Amino acid sequence: MKRKVAVYPGSFDPITNGHLDILMRGLELFDKVIVAVAFNIEKKALFTVEDRLELIQQAVNYNENVLVDSFNGLLVDYVKKVNARFVIRGLRAMSDFEYEFQMASMNRNLNKGMDTLFMMTSKDYYFISSRTIKEVTEFGGSVKGLVPEIVEKRLKEKFRLS
């Protein structure tokens, strides 16, 4: 039986095929997944939050089971606001684990009713992060097949490579 809704939070600056893979797999467990773009004060973003939301919508072809939203502040507060209980996160390497473990534990401490589900990255995407995608594009390398086509196009425009 599918559960109703889960929140998939992150920076998504920009969305990659690694994110999409986790999102699509999440939709096999939940009727709806809310992709929640965090206003992150620590990370300097390349795309505005509005652009990131639009790129996600285009990347999922406006799938009606994918809701796209942004949030400020604590994830636990956002999860409460949208009446969700589960949060989805992707795991790549051991380096992700430490941070994710800390965040999931802290969030559970803040809200006992919330649970974080982790999905392992797929073999084709384990090396993809938004950061490396931006770096490679900036210096003229190809990210074909690693991000949706619309993202590839927008990245080239950003770095004036097209």
Say if CB 162 and CB 59 are below 8 A apart: no
The whole-angstrom separation of Cα 158 and Cα 112 is: 42
Total residues at the site for ligand ADP (CB under 6 A)? 16
User: What is the sign of the dihedral through the CA atoms of 96, 102, 105 and 106?
Assistant: negative
Composition of the chain by helix, strand, coil, percent to 5: 40, 25, 40
| Stretch in the footprint of ligand ADP (CB under 6 A) among 16-24, 62-70, 75-83, 108-116 | 16-24
5/20 with CB nearer ligand ADP? 20
User: What is the sign of the dihedral through the CA atoms of 66, 68, 71 and 77?
Assistant: negative
5/128 with CB nearer ligand ADP? 128
Q: List residues with catalytic annotation.
A: 19, 43, 92, 130
Q: Footprint of ligand ADP on residues 63-122 (CB under 6 A)?
A: 89-90, 92, 96, 121
Contacts to ligand ADP by CB under 6 A: 10-12, 16, 18-19, 22, 89-90, 92, 96, 121, 125, 128-130
